[in-house]
C-alpha cells in the first residue's frame, strides 16, 4: 500500500525545481483572480442595478467588452513578443487597476447617461488591459517551467487560480454584499479589485523576465521584427491554421463557460430570490476543481491530452441537461417538495457536473496551445488562438440579453408559481437552446477525430525523470549532477 501512495505524491516533488519567478506569476494570477472573479460575479447586476442598463443592454455591453478583449488580444500577442513580459504585464495591470477603481467610485458621483458613458469607456480601457494579461501569463508559465515540470506547472497554476476563485466567490462576494447590501456591495467589490491589482503590480517588480528555466527556449535575437510582421507571419503558418480548426470546433461548449457571469446571476436571483448567495454558488465550481486537481493531477497527466479535452467538453455540455429539463421532473425526485427545492437541486447539480468537465478540459486546453506554439511566438499563438473566444463570448453576450429578457425576466417566478408559464416560455427552454449549442462541440470533434489527430502535433507528457534544476539565470544548477538539490521553493 505504501508504494502507490509514495509514487502518487512523488509527482508533486517536481515543483521543487520551479523558480522564484514561477511562483511570482502564480501570485499575480491569484491576486488578479480575486479581482476578476469577484467582479464577474456581479458585473451584469452592477450594470443593471448600479448603472441603469436594461437586461438587453447589460448583456450587449458585456458582449462588446469580451469582443474587444479578443480583438485586442489578436494584436497584443505580437506586441508582447516584441516588448517583453514585464512591460506587457505593467500595461495590462495598470489599465485594469484604473478601470476597477473607476467602477467603484463613478456611480457615487455620476448618474444616468454620463455614468453609463463613463462605465462604457472604462470597460473599453479594461478590455485592453485584460487582453495583455492572458497571453503574457501563459508565455511566462512556459518560460519559467522546464519540459519536465511544465504539465504539473500548468495544473498548479490552474489550481491556484481556482483557490483565488473560491475565496473571491465564497468569501469576498457574499461578505461584501451582505455587509453593504446588493447595491453598495457591488461597488465595494470593484474597489476590492482595485487593491488586488495593486498587489499584482507589487509582485511584478520582483520578476526576472530573463530567467528561462529551459535555456534551449531562450531567444537570443528578435530579428528586428515588428509586431505587425510577427502577427502576419503567424497567420500564414500552416501549424497555426491547423490549430485554429480544432479551436473553432470548441466554440459551442465554450459558451457554457461564459454563462457563469452572463446568465447565471440573473437566472439565480429571478427563479429563486434576489439575495441568492451568488458567491457561494459560484464558489462550488472552483472548490471542486481544487480538490479534483489535488487528487487527480498525477492521474490526469498520464492520459492523452486530446482525449481529455473531448471528455471534458462532453461532460461540460451534459451539465446543462439539469437546467433544461422541465422543472416538474425535479419535483418528482424523492425529498423535493416545492419549487425552491427543485430549482436549488438543478442549479447545484449543474454546477457540480460542469466543474468536473472543466477540471478535465481547461488545464489541458491551455497547455495544448502552449505546447504546439513555436518557442519564439508563444504569446502570439496564445493571443491568436483566442479566435473561438472572439466568436463565442460576444455571441453569448448578445444572445444572453435576448434569452434572459425573454425567458428569465424580472417577475418570471411569480408566473411559474401561478402555473402560467409553459415549457416553451420557461427558463428551462432557454437552457435547452444553450444545451443544443454546447453539444455541437464534442460531437463535431469526435466526427473529425481522424482529421484533427493528423493535423495537430502529438502532445506527449514527458516521463517523470529527474528534472532540470534552474539557477536564477535559467541555467541548469549542475549538469554533471542532475540529482543535486535545487532551488528552494518560494511560496506565494
**Does 15-208+229-455 carry CATH code 1.20.1250.20?**
yes
* pLDDT at site 362: 73
Q: Rounded to 10 degrees, what is the CA torsion of 9, 14, 19, 21?
A: -60
Q: In this structure, are residues 29 and 161 in contact, taking their beta carbons and an 8 Å threshold?
A: yes
* pLDDT at site 390: 61
Q: What is the pLDDT of residues 78-107, one digit of tens each?
A: 677 778 888 888 999 999 999 999 999 999
b (16+ CB within 10 A) / e for 279-291:
bebbbbbbbbbbe
The per-residue pLDDT of the chain, averaged, comes to 78
The SS3 call for residue 408 is coil
* pLDDT at site 460: 40
Q: What is the pLDDT of residues 225-258, one digit of tens each?
A: 555 666 667 667 666 766 777 777 777 787 777 7
Beta-sheet strands, E only, within 80-129: none
Q: What is the largest CA-CA distance in the chain?
A: 78
Eight-class DSSP state of 171: I
Q: What is the pLDDT of residues 143-175, one digit of tens each?
A: 888 777 777 777 778 778 888 888 888 788 888
Question: What is the mean predicted confidence (pLDDT) over 404-420?
Answer: 90
Q: How far apart are CA 324 and CA 370, in angstroms?
A: 35
Read off the pLDDT band of 388 (50, 70, 90): low
The half-sphere exposure of 249 on its side-chain side, counting CA atoms within 13 A, is 20
Q: How far apart are CA 371 and CA 119, in angstroms?
A: 38
Amino acid at each position: 500500500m505504501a508504494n502507490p501512495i509514495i509514487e502518487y505524491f512523488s509527482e508533486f516533488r517536481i515543483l521543487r525545481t520551479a523558480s522564484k519567478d514561477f511562483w511570482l506569476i502564480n501570485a499575480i494570477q491569484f491576486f488578479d483572480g480575486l479581482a476578476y472573479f469577484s467582479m464577474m460575479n456581479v458585473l451584469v447586476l452592477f450594470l443593471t442595478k448600479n448603472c441603469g442598463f436594461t437586461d438587453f443592454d447589460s448583456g450587449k455591453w458585456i458582449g462588446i467588452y469580451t469582443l474587444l478583449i479578443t480583438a485586442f488580444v489578436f494584436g497584443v500577442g505580437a506586441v508582447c513578443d516584441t516588448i517583453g513580459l514585464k512591460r506587457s504585464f505593467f500595461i495590462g495591470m495598470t489599465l485594469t487597476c484604473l478601470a476597477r477603481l473607476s467602477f467603484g467610485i463613478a456611480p457615487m458621483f455620476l448618474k444616468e447617461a454620463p455614468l453609463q458613458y463613463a462605465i462604457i469607456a472604462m470597460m473599453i480601457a479594461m478590455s485592453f488591459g485584460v487582453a495583455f494579461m492572458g497571453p503574457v501569463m501563459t508565455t511566462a508559465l512556459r518560460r519559467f517551467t522546464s519540459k519536465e515540470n511544465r504539465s504539473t506547472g500548468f495544473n498548479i497554476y490552474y489550481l491556484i487560480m481556482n483557490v483565488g476563485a473560491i475565496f473571491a466567490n465564497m468569501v469576498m462576494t457574499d461578505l461584501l454584499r451582505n455587509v453593504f447590501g446588493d447595491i453598495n456591495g457591488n461597488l465595494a467589490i470593484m474597489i476590492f479589485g482595485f487593491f488586488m491589482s495593486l498587489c499584482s503590480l507589487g509582485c511584478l517588480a520582483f520578476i526576472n523576465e530573463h530567467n528561462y528555466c529551459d535555456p534551449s527556449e531562450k531567444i537570443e535575437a528578435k530579428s528586428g521584427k515588428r509586431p505587425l510582421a510577427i502577427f502576419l507571419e503567424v497567420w500564414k503558418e500552416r501549424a497555426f491554421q491547423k490549430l485554429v480548426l480544432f479551436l473553432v470546433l470548441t466554440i459551442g461548449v465554450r459558451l457554457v463557460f461564459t454563462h457563469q457571469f452572463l446568465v447565471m446571476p440573473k437566472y439565480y436571483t429571478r427563479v429563486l430570490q434576489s439575495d441568492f448567495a451568488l458567491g457561494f454558488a459560484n464558489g462550488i465550481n472552483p472548490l471542486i476543481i481544487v480538490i479534483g486537481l489535488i487528487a487527480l493531477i498525477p492521474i490526469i497527466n498520464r492520459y492523452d491530452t486530446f482525449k481529455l479535452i473531448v471528455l471534458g467538453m462532453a461532460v461540460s455540455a451534459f451539465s446543462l441537461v439539469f437546467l433544461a429539463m422541465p422543472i416538474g421532473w425535479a419535483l418528482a425526485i424523492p425529498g423535493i417538495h416545492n419549487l425552491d427545492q427543485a430549482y436549488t437541486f438543478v442549479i447545484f447539480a449543474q454546477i457540480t457536473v460542469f466543474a468536473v468537465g472543466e477540471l478535465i478540459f481547461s488545464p489541458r486546453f491551455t497547455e495544448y496551445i502552449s505546447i504546439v506554439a513555436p518557442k519564439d511566438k508563444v504569446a502570439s499563438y496564445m493571443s491568436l488562438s483566442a479566435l473561438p473566444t472572439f466568436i463565442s463570448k460576444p455571441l453569448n453576450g448578445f444572445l444572453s440579453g435576448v434569452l434572459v429578457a425573454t425567458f428569465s425576466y424580472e417577475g418570471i417566478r411569480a408566473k411559474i408559481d401561478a402555473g402560467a408559464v409553459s415549457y416553451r416560455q420557461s427558463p428551462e427552454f432557454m437552457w435547452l437552446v444553450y444545451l443544443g449549442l454546447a453539444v455541437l462541440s464534442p460531437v463535431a470533434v469526435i466526427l473529425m477525430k481522424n482529421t484533427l489527430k493528423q493535423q495537430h502535433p502529438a502532445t506527449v507528457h514527458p516521463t517523470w525523470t529527474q528534472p532540470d534544476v534552474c539557477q536564477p539565470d535559467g541555467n541548469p544548477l549542475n549538469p554533471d549532477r542532475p540529482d543535486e538539490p535545487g532551488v528552494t521553493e518560494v511560496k506565494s
